[in-house]
C-alpha cells in the first residue's frame, strides 16, 4: 500500500484556559483578606480602575458602565455626540486640581492636628509584638550581675531551649559543639533554671516539676517523693494506692496531689503564642421568620469602577479620530498626514494602552461579581441542606458532599470546592468554615436519614460529659449506646472519634475517690 500525503480540514473543539479565566478561578478561591489585597494591588497597577465613592453601586452596574465605554464606537456622521463628552474637546483637563485632590499624591504629610479626635488613629488597635521566651530569659540574664563569660554561656543555653522551655541537647553534646566546657555549661544551667518562669531549662518532666517545688517548705520532701516515684499513680488519680505508699490519709494525699496538678508542665508556653487571628465572615446567614436569609459581607471590600477621567479620554479620542478621518478624506495634498504621523503613532499607542487596561479592569470587575454570585449560591444551597443545623445545632448536622451542592446550583464540584476554600459563614449557631458542612455520614440502622460524622462526635462528647467519673464509659459502652439511637457504628470508629476530640480513654478518665 503506497503512502501518500493529504490535506484535510477538521473541525474540533478544545477547552483552553485563557489568562482571564485563570484570574477568575484564582479570585474564586481567594479568602476575604487575600481578595482585598488583590483588589488593592490592581488599584495601584491599573490607572483605569478606581474605588467608587458610591458604596451602594453594585458590581452589575459597574459592568454595564464599563461595557458601555468599551463597546461603544465613534459616533456616526448623522449621530449627535454624547452630551457628556461635548465639553471634553473645549476645555483642558485641570491636572493640578486632579493631583491635589488625589489621596495618593503623597506630597504633603498626613496630619491630625486640624482634625477631630475621631480622625486620629486608634492606638488600642495597633499590633504590638509579644515577648518570646528567649527574649524574656536573655533580658533577665543581661539585667543580672554576671560576668561576660557567664552571660555568653547562659545565652548559648537559652538558644537551645525549645518553645516549652526544655533543654533539647545534653550538656555533653553542647560541650562538644560549643567553646564552653561541661563545668561552665553546668554552672550556667543552674543560673538559667533560677530564672522566670519556674521550671525553665529542665531536661525532662520530672526535673521541670522538681524545679517548681524548691520553695514549698516542709512539704517539699513529700512532693519530691511523689514526683520522683509515683507520677503514674498521679496520672491515674489513684489516690487510694498512693496514700498507702506514702502512709498518709486519702484527704492529705489529695491535697498534695492538687499541688502537683497545679504545676506547669510546659513553662514556656505562656510566651510567644503569637497574636490572635480574628475571623471576618464572608457570608451571614440570618433567621428571618421561618426562613434563613443569606447576606454577603461586602463591608471593607472596595467597590470598583472605571475612572471617569479615562472614560472621557476614550470618548475624546474617538471623536478626535473621527474628525481627523473626515479631514483626511478632503485633504488632497497629503501634507497634513505627513506632519502628523509621529503624533498619530504616539496617540495610537496611548489609546491601545488605555483600551488594554480597560479590558483588564472590566474583566476584574466581572470576575469579582461572578465570585460573589457563586459564593452566594453555594452558601444558599448549604443553608437549604443544613436547615435543621441552623435551627437546632450540631446534633442535627446532615451528611453532605460537594456533588449535592454542585448539582443543585448547576456548577462543577471543583467550583464548589474553590468557593468554600478559606471562606467563613456566620450562622445562628456560630462562625464556621464553609467546608465544615461537608462531611460523610454513618448509616441509620432503622432506615432513616444518615447521621453526619460531626453530629456523632457531638453525641460522643455529650455522653462522656454526663458519665460517672468513678465508672467512665468505655468505647464499647459508647458504641452500644449509639446503636440504641439507630447509629450503625463500630467500636474502633468510636475510639477514633474520641481521639479526634482529644478525650482520654476510660482508664485514664477514672477518678478513684
In this prediction, residue 77 carries a pLDDT of 42
Q: Pick 67 or 369 by higher pLDDT.
A: 369
- Cα 54 to Cα 302: distance, rounded to the nearest angstrom: 10
Mark out the alpha helices in 262-340 (DSSP H runs): 308-330, 335-339
Radius of gyration (C-alpha) of the chain in whole angstroms: 36
Cα distances (Å, whole numbers) of residue 301 to 161, 363, 368: 43, 17, 10
DSSP 241-267: HHHHHHT--HHHHHHHHHHHHTS-S-T
Confidence of residue 57 (pLDDT cuts 50, 70, 90): very low
Confidence of residue 128 (pLDDT cuts 50, 70, 90): low
In this prediction, residue 93 carries a pLDDT of 38
Mean pLDDT of 404-425: 92
Q: Which three cell numbers stand for residue 71?
A: 463597546
- Contact present, 257 and 207 (Cβ < 8 Å): no
pLDDT at residue 498 tops 60 = yes
In this prediction, residue 216 carries a pLDDT of 82
Mean pLDDT of 65-70: 45
- Looking at every residue in the chain, the average pLDDT score rounds to 79
pLDDT at residue 103 tops 80 = no
In this prediction, residue 69 carries a pLDDT of 41
* Local structure of 78: helix, strand or coil: coil
- Contact present, 48 and 357 (Cβ < 8 Å): yes
Cα distances (Å, whole numbers) of residue 190 to 43, 157, 405: 58, 11, 62
Confidence of residue 96 (pLDDT cuts 50, 70, 90): very low
Q: At what angle do helices 453-465 and 491-500 cross, to 10 degrees?
A: 80
Place of cell 472596595: 302
Q: At what angle do helices 32-45 and 341-385 cross, to 10 degrees?
A: 170
Which domains are seen in the chain, by residue range? 19-74+274-323+350-439 (no CATH), 133-261 (1.10.10.1330), 441-509 (1.10.10.60)
Phi-psi region of 410 (alpha: psi -120 to 50; beta: other; left: phi over 0): left
Q: Pick 273 or 44 by higher pLDDT.
A: 44
- Cα 284 to Cα 362: distance, rounded to the nearest angstrom: 28
In this prediction, residue 293 carries a pLDDT of 93
pTM above 0.85, yes or no: no
- Residues 161-214: tens digit of each pLDDT: 998 999 988 999 999 999 999 999 999 999 999 999 999 999 999 999 999 998
Mean pLDDT of 330-351: 58
Confidence of residue 311 (pLDDT cuts 50, 70, 90): confident
Phi, psi of 379 (to 5 degrees): -65, -40
- Residues 202-225: tens digit of each pLDDT: 999 999 999 999 888 788 899 999
Burial class (CB in 10 A: 0-12, 13-18, 19+), 26: middle
105 DSSP β-pair partners:
none
Q: Which helix or strand (DSSP H or E) is residue 441 part of? A: strand 441-442
pLDDT at residue 31 tops 90 = no
pLDDT at residue 349 tops 90 = no
Amino acid at each position: 500500500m503506497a503512502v501518500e500525503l493529504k490535506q484535510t480540514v477538521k473541525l474540533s473543539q478544545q477547552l483552553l484556559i485563557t489568562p482571564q479565566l485563570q484570574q477568575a478561578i484564582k479570585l474564586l478561591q481567594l479568602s476575604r483578606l487575600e481578595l482585598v489585597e488583590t483588589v488593592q494591588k490592581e488599584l495601584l497597577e491599573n490607572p483605569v480602575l478606581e474605588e467608587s465613592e458610591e458604596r451602594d453601586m453594585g458590581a452589575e452596574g459597574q459592568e454595564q458602565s464599563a461595557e458601555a465605554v468599551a463597546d461603544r464606537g465613534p459616533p456616526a456622521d448623522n449621530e449627535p455626540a454624547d452630551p457628556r463628552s461635548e465639553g471634553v474637546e473645549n476645555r483642558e483637563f485641570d491636572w493640578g486640581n486632579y493631583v491635589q485632590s488625589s489621596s495618593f499624591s503623597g506630597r504633603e504629610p498626613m496630619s491630625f492636628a486640624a482634625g477631630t479626635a475621631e480622625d486620629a488613629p486608634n492606638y488600642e488597635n495597633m499590633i504590638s509584638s509579644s515577648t518570646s521566651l528567649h527574649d524574656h530569659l536573655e533580658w533577665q540574664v543581661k539585667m543580672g550581675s554576671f560576668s561576660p563569660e557567664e552571660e555568653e554561656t547562659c545565652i548559648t543555653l537559652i538558644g537551645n531551649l525549645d518553645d516549652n522551655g526544655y533543654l533539647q541537647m545534653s550538656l555533653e553534646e553542647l560541650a562538644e559543639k560549643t567553646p564552653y566546657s561541661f563545668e561552665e555549661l553546668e554552672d550556667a544551667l543552674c543560673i538559667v533554671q533560677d530564672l522566670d518562669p519556674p521550671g525553665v531549662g529542665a531536661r525532662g518532666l520530672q526535673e521541670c516539676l522538681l524545679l517548681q517545688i524548691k520553695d514549698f517548705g516542709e512539704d517539699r520532701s513529700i512532693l519530691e517523693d511523689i514526683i520522683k516515684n509515683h507520677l503514674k499513680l498521679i496520672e491515674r488519680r489513684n489516690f487510694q494506692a498512693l496514700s498507702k505508699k506514702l502512709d498518709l490519709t486519702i484527704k492529705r494525699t489529695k491535697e498534695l496531689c492538687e499541688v502537683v496538678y497545679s504545676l506547669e508542665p510546659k513553662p514556656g508556653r505562656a510566651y510567644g503564642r503569637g497574636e490572635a487571628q480574628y475571623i471576618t465572615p464572608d457570608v451571614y446567614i440570618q433567621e428571618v421568620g421561618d426562613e434563613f436569609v443569606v447576606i454577603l459581607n461586602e463591608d471593607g471590600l472596595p467597590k470598583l469602577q472605571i475612572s471617569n477621567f479615562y472614560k472621557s479620554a476614550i470618548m475624546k479620542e474617538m471623536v478626535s479620530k473621527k474628525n481627523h478621518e473626515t479631514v483626511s478624506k478632503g485633504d488632497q495634498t497629503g501634507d497634513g498626514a505627513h506632519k502628523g504621523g509621529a503624533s498619530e503613532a504616539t496617540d495610537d499607542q496611548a489609546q491601545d494602552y488605555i483600551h488594554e487596561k480597560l479590558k483588564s479592569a472590566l474583566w476584574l470587575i466581572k470576575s469579582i461579581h461572578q465570585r460573589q454570585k457563586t459564593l452566594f449560591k453555594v452558601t444558599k444551597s448549604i443553608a437549604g441542606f443544613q436547615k435543621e443545623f441552623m435551627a437546632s445545632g450540631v446534633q442535627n448536622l446532615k451528611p453532605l458532599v460537594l456533588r449535592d451542592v454542585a448539582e443543585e446550583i448547576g456548577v462543577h464540584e471543583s467550583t464548589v470546592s474553590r468557593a468554600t476554600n478559606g471562606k467563613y459563614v456566620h450562622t445562628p449557631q456560630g462562625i464556621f468554615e464553609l467546608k465544615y458542612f461537608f462531611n460523610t455520614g454513618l448509616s441509620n440502622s432503622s432506615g432513616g436519614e444518615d447521621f453526619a460524622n460531626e453530629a456523632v462526635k457531638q453525641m460522643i462528647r455529650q455522653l462522656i460529659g454526663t458519665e460517672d467519673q468513678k465508672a467512665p464509659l468505655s468505647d464499647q459502652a459508647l458504641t452500644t449506646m449509639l446503636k440504641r439511637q439507630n447509629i450503625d457504628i463500630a467500636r474502633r470508629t468510636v475510639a477514633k472519634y474520641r481521639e479526634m476530640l482529644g478525650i482520654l480513654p476510660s482508664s485514664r478518665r477514672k477518678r478513684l475517690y
